[in-house]
Structure 1
Amino acid sequence: MNNQQDFTFIKMDKKLIKLRFDDILFVKGLGNYVEIFVRNNKKYVYYKTLKDLIERFPDEFMRVHHSNIVNFKNVDYVEDNHLIIGEYKITIAKSYKDCLLNSIDKLLL
């Protein structure tokens, strides 16, 4: 059995909300807050920095821009300098591109 948990909780409005990692599409940084985009067009604004989150996320999450972390499991395709996740188009920053391409190379058939 895989001992890595597949969910987490975030605290919002005196509630603890369970989030499955697989349901997280991407995370957008807003200074000391993040917007967590999940399936079914939901999003949560949460008081945390991207740096704090990336350290706690599983390996399939990768920072692709100063203000974006994506869940690789949910990327539909990569086109030029963008990752496409559903209707979202996320820019890949130059400084993160090499690392991203190396990760993708390992996944190629």
Structure 2
Amino acid sequence: MTYQQNFTFIKTDKKLIKLNFDDILFVKGLGNYVEIFVKNNKKYVYYKTLKDLIDKLPDEFMRVHNSNIVNLKNVEYIEDNHLIIGEHKITIAKSYKDCLLSSIDKLLL
């Protein structure tokens, strides 16, 4: 059985910070940087592109827009073309919608 790592470390503000994947709400791309939004209204700026990051994140993370990756575990609901995570409203781009909906179909009861 392969071990599924449930946390990572990121380097920000000269510190190495441990992040549990379950605590990550979503990631917003800012060119060569990303903002990682986590529970407790915290966010971290990390020097990494979204493209590099999505390859390293577990399967529950999905790209839903050119500038956003969301953690499906923390999505409260989907309405029209938006995902709601806490007080954040994240737009789902047309180009990512089919892929997102097919992933969600697999999670339906």
Same fold, TM exceeding 0.5? yes
C-alpha displacement at 1:4, in angstroms?
A: 1.1
- Give the match for residue 88 of structure 1: 88
Q: Provide the C-alpha distance between the structure 2 equivalents of 1:103 and 1:2, rounded to a whole number of angstroms.
A: 22
- Aligned pairs, number: 109
Instruction: Measure, in 2, the Cα distance between the counterparts of 1:21 and 1:2.
Output: 17
The CA deviation at 1:14 is 2.1
Using the aligned pairs only, state the percent identity.
86
Q: Return the TM-score normalized by structure 1.
A: 0.97
User: 1:39 — aligned with what?
Assistant: 39
CA RMSD of aligned residues (A): 1.0
- For 1:90, the aligned partner's letter is I
State the SS of the aligned residue for 2:5. coil
The residue identity in structure 1 corresponding to 2:89 is K
Q: Which residue of 2 aligns with 1:102?
A: 102
Following superposition, the deviation at residue 15 of structure 1 comes to 1.2
- 1: distance between equivalents of 2:46 and 2:72? 21
Match of residue 6 from structure 1: 6
Give the C-alpha shift of residue 2 in structure 1. 5.9
Quick one: distance in 1 between partners of 2:30 and 2:15? Answer: 22
- Which ranges of structure 2 fall in alignment gaps of 5 or more residues? none
TM-score by length of 2: 0.97
Q: Secondary structure at the match of 2:59?
A: coil
Superposition deviation, residue 13 in structure 1: 2.3
Show the 5 A alignment for 1:70-81: 70-81=70-81
Q: Distance in 2 between matches of 1:67 and 1:84?
A: 16
- Gapped runs of 5+ residues in structure 1? none
- Note the alpha carbon deviations across 1:16-61, whole angstroms, 9 max, x for none: 1000000000000000000000000000011000001000000000
The superposition leaves residues 40-93 of structure 1 with CA deviations (integer Å, 9 ceiling, x where unpaired) of 000001100000100000000000000000000000000000000000000000
